[in-house]
Amino acid sequence: MNTLAKFIAAMLIFGTNGLLARRISLGGAEIVLLRTLLGSCFLIGLGLLRRDLRLVGLRADKVPATLGGAALGLNWVCLFIAYQTAGVSLSTLVYYCGPMLVLALSPLLFREKLTWNKIAAIAAVALGMIFISEEIERGSDLAVGLLWAAGAAGFYALVIIANKRVQHLSGIHCAMYELIVSFFVVLAFLAVTGARLPVIPAGSELPWVLVLGLVNTGLAYYLYFSAMQRLSGQTVALLCYIDPLTALVLSALVLHERLLPLQIAGAALILGGACLGELRLRRRDA
């Protein structure tokens, strides 16, 4: 499988996360605990096969990688709870506002200048958020679900910010370490909230749990990071939107979720604005 095919395959796999989550009756945090456990085991097993378990560079990157792992776990907890309360389509749209939060804060965080297309992208995504939430009753279960999705977007932004500070760990080793950290953070979250441990899925749901943990987390992360290091930054940024598009299509075809006309317009603004924000426009020669 060539590099581009690996990355596209990872994005398509990620796009099925919500569909799989809806097949499992466990709580969102419990699903994430099993996901991070199985995903970690997959990457550790892969490292053993390749005789490549040394996390070279971890000492220098321990703080951002640990912060990124913690944020990743909490990000998934919020997102999977949102899947169960607000549906896959709306949760996905709100979740993918996370990169726009990073973009809006980039002048402060990374001293990056906001170009006109990035400003337009932020405005489009903000307007899209207004559109998709306009007809939702305040205080309803759907509104609460969207708040969880907004929390996921915030933690997603923190994952991006933290990983931009990781300079020495390779992509695969960073993924392995962050998944392990995520597992322990989610385990602590469940312990603090009084959840029953250990988490044991129903026998009929075990295949979905295994697919989510081994394929959608372990294998997909391996494909993602092994391909990302060989693709240009802009190619990676733009292809990442295969994930939400896949989620939207599957939620409509399989879960029969339907967006209202104003929400469809909001979806177009969010995804279109996000893609616009990733473009690096070249100046024309005078």
**Span 183-238, pLDDT tens digits:** 999 999 999 999 989 999 999 999 999 999 999 999 999 998 888 778 876 677 77
What pLDDT is stored for residue 217 in this prediction?
A: 96
Residue 80: closest CA among 144, 43, 31, 125: 31
The span from the CA of 159 to the CA of 98, in Å, is 9
Q: Which of 77, 81, 83 is nearest to 18 (CA)?
A: 83
Residue 40: its pLDDT value, please?
Answer: 96
Q: Which one of 66-80, 90-104, 112-126 scores highest in mean pLDDT? A: 66-80
- CB neighbour burial string for 206-218, b if at least 16 within 10 angstroms, e if fewer: eebbebbbbbbbb
Which helix (H) or strand (E) is 225 found in, with range?
helix 220-228
Note whether residue 211 is domain-resident. yes
- Does some domain include residue 60? yes
Closest among 53, 35, 36 to 44, alpha carbons compared? 53
pTM: 0.91
Q: Maximum CA pair distance of the chain?
A: 67
* Within-domain flag for 284: no
Flag whether 283 is in a domain: no
In a domain, 13, yes or no: yes
Whether 241 contacts 275, CB under 8 Å = yes
Among the residue ranges 16-20, 96-100, 146-150, the one predicted with the least confidence is: 96-100
Inside any domain, residue 145 = yes
| Residue 285 located in a structural domain | no
> Cα–Cα distance between 139 and 254 in angstroms, integer?
28
State the pLDDT confidence band at 285, using cuts at 50, 70 and 90: very low
Mean pLDDT for all residues in the chain: 89
What gap in Å lies between CA 7 and CA 15, rounded to an integer? 13
Given a contact cutoff of 8 angstroms between Cβ atoms, the answer to whether 24 and 206 are in contact is: no
Residue 286 lies in a domain: no
Domain containing 35 equals 3-278
Per the structure, the count of domains in the chain is 1
